[in-house]
Structure 1
Amino acid sequence: MIVQETRLDTARIRAARQVIDPIFLDTPLYRCEALEPVLGCAVSVKLETANPIRSFKARGTEVVASGLAANGSRAVVCASAGNLGQALAWSGRGRGLEVTVVASRHATVAKLERIRALGAELELVDGDHELARERAAAIARDQGIRLVEDSLDLETCEGAATIGLELVDALPSFDAVLIALGGGAMATGVGHVVKSHASDVEVICVQPAGAPAMTRSWREHRVVSTDSADTIADGVAGRHPIPEVLDDLLLVADDAVLVQEASIVTGMRMLLDHAGLIVEPSAALGIAAILEDRERFADRHVLTIICGSNVDMDAYHRWIGPAPQ
């Protein structure tokens, strides 16, 4: 596979900042020294949970909803594991859009409840996220409304890429940026901006070993789908990579690694114990990658994006164990 150019455009990414509600911009970025003795490297975190949606997804949905409202659209639909749905509900509510979200009945309960609370119509399917995508596409066709497809739609990638603009202000102090990899919006968007400004900074994508489709696709330079996805990191549990997104990823990722569930759980516990952060599993992927390859990151300055904190607390306590008395 030979890729000539990316779909992403730096000028559009800069313009995206002008339509995104400032409440989602300029999220905290700081060095977390308490993590460093146990990880063996300097660690900085970009806290994309410090907003009303508690994830980075609203950066993209703000761009989507702004464009729809400007064109006089009144309705929109998406499939979501939970975070995109919340973000689209938020962005649509503020612009008078009727939002429908299709999700798996097995999605995180807290995420589903928040989607409803934000005023979206929620339809549940008896299957995984891929089935939800099929149902959302059918609704869009039947009703003649916009289907928002995370990572395929450039607005979601270029909205997420605004994180990269905020990171490059702090470059070149980082040696590597660790990015959770699911559909690829954040990885391609942030990777594009980082590589455009500091090509020597290593862009490393991290995915659970139980949901490896995009990582396998990156390694083989072709789309590789999987029959199933088995991971607690529901936000990155896709099975069918999008060809256009893979093309973009091949241009910016220096590496894509797979991590074990035990490392994800340990990463979540470390973020709680040493940084005071309650995060969902996807947000701990970067820490998990360091844990599994300490020698690679030893004495380097690594940045990881804490991408979401919408977690079912009962499940969270089962994973990390009871709180200390």
Structure 2
Amino acid sequence: MQEPRTRLDLARIRAARSFIDPMFLNTPLYRCEALEPDLGCAVSIKLETANPVRSFKARGTELVASQLAANGTRAAVCASAGNLGQALAWSARARSLDVTVIASRHATRTKLDRIRALGAKLELVDGDHELARERAAAIARQDGIRLVEDSLDIETCEGAATIALELLDPAEASAPPFDMILIALGGGALATGVGHVLKSLNPTVEVICVQPLGAPALTHSFHQRRVVTTATTNTIADGVAGRIPIPPVLNDLLEVADDAVLVHESSIITGMRLLLAHAGLVVEPSAALGIAAILENRERFAGRHVVTVVCGSNVDVDAYWRWVGAAGVRGS
């Protein structure tokens, strides 16, 4: 089968596994039958949260940090809503690299605390993630250090792509055949990485990306086939709340995604409740986007076997319980 025309390379993706700490690989994949009465379709979960940074991001930062160490580069800076910063801090600490993370002052407190605990320098800006990206780029220029840009740096995409190798592994006895996958869409690393592998090795699988209505820039860009920006974002799914898509990432996405959809905040919250009540999973809002997409269009998914990637579980406990609520869990 021919690879899609993207920046990604299947041989590099296969080789990437040897640079990623095994604790981030071969994550659980299982059919969650308890969810199916509420959703009306077969649902399998790819669980990317049972690791030290509680998200899939370390698959990519392990590649980044390995290359930095091999090249003798000792310092790097990145902008992050929280998960990339944690992952880069973890990967850098293991290789004695210095990392600075730029984040919004309004980012999830739990994520910021973990970045500090992992030894990275943390600088906060009085704005959103796009302002943090600008500040990170300025520091990289000023200090002459490596700027790590999520989704633009191919390592972040190809690290995420290793998830799809595991989805298609015939040795994975708990992985029955599936015909659709729902992927949270933020900067695009997860969607382009997983999508590239699936379209290379099993192109009949339908790749559907999901964003909140309050942060729709990359979804609008996908449908209009050009970069569309937004002035603001308004969503609890902070991990996917970008305003300015990256042109090469959009080009990659157009080659591997079949569709991109937008979902309401209420559906995201219901998805979080269902994952807690029926799968025992505490997830951040971005990780519930796949479930939200099914809730909003049950007819589309009826009779299908859908995989959803549970991509992160770094939540502020107080905010989580405000959203989910004990009464809501009992009523799910």
Give the structure-1-normalised TM-score.
0.97
Deviations 1:236-262 (A, max 9, x none): 000000000000000000000000000
Q: CA RMSD in A?
A: 1.2
Counterpart residue number, 2:181: 177
Counterpart residue number, 2:50: 50
Deviations 1:21-68 (A, max 9, x none): 000000000000000111100000000001111000000000000000
* 1:226, distance to aligned residue in structure 2 (A): 0.4
2:258 to 234, 250, 254: 254
The one-letter amino acid paired with 1:314 is D
- Structure 2 CA distance, aligned partners of 1:75 and 1:30? 39
1:112-261 matches, within 5 Å, as 112-169=112-169, 173-261=177-265
Counterpart residue number, 2:77: 77
- Structure 2 CA distance, aligned partners of 1:87 and 1:66? 13
Deviations 1:277-320 (A, max 9, x none): 00000000000000000000001100000000000010000001
- Structure 1 CA distance, aligned partners of 2:176 and 2:87? 31
The one-letter amino acid paired with 1:215 is T
1:28 equivalent to 2:11? Answer no
* 1:5, distance to aligned residue in structure 2 (A): 2.3
- Structure 2 CA distance, aligned partners of 1:28 and 1:5? 30
The one-letter amino acid paired with 1:30 is Y
SS at match of 1:235: helix
* 1:73, distance to aligned residue in structure 2 (A): 0.8
- Structure 1 CA distance, aligned partners of 2:176 and 2:282? 29
* 1:322, distance to aligned residue in structure 2 (A): 2.7
After TM superposition, the structure 1 stretch with the greater mean CA deviation from structure 2, 315-324 or 290-299, is 315-324
Give the structure-2-normalised TM-score.
0.95
The one-letter amino acid paired with 1:157 is C
- Structure 2 CA distance, aligned partners of 1:62 and 1:277? 25
Counterpart residue number, 2:98: 98
Deviations 1:132-182 (A, max 9, x none): 000000110111000000000000000000001101125771010000000
- Structure 1 CA distance, aligned partners of 2:248 and 2:176? 29
- Structure 2 CA distance, aligned partners of 1:298 and 1:208? 22
1:312 equivalent to 2:288? Answer no
SS at match of 2:326: coil
- Structure 2 CA distance, aligned partners of 1:149 and 1:74? 17
Work out the percentage of aligned pairs sharing the same amino acid: 78
Runs of 4+ in 1 over 4 A off after TM superposition: none
SS at match of 2:211: strand
Contact 1:188 1:245 in 2 (8 A): yes
Counterpart residue number, 1:18: 18
In structure 1, the gaps of 5 or more residues are none
* 1:321, distance to aligned residue in structure 2 (A): 1.0
In structure 2, the gaps of 5 or more residues are none
- Structure 2 CA distance, aligned partners of 1:322 and 1:168? 37
Contact 1:172 1:198 in 2 (8 A): no
Deviations 1:68-97 (A, max 9, x none): 000111101000000000000000000010
Contact 1:172 1:201 in 2 (8 A): no
The one-letter amino acid paired with 1:37 is P
SS at match of 2:253: helix
The one-letter amino acid paired with 1:205 is C
- Structure 1 CA distance, aligned partners of 2:10 and 2:326? 45
- Structure 2 CA distance, aligned partners of 1:197 and 1:261? 34
1:322 to 309, 314, 326: 326
1:38 equivalent to 2:42? Answer no
The one-letter amino acid paired with 2:302 is A
- Structure 1 CA distance, aligned partners of 2:136 and 2:206? 36
Counterpart residue number, 1:302: 306
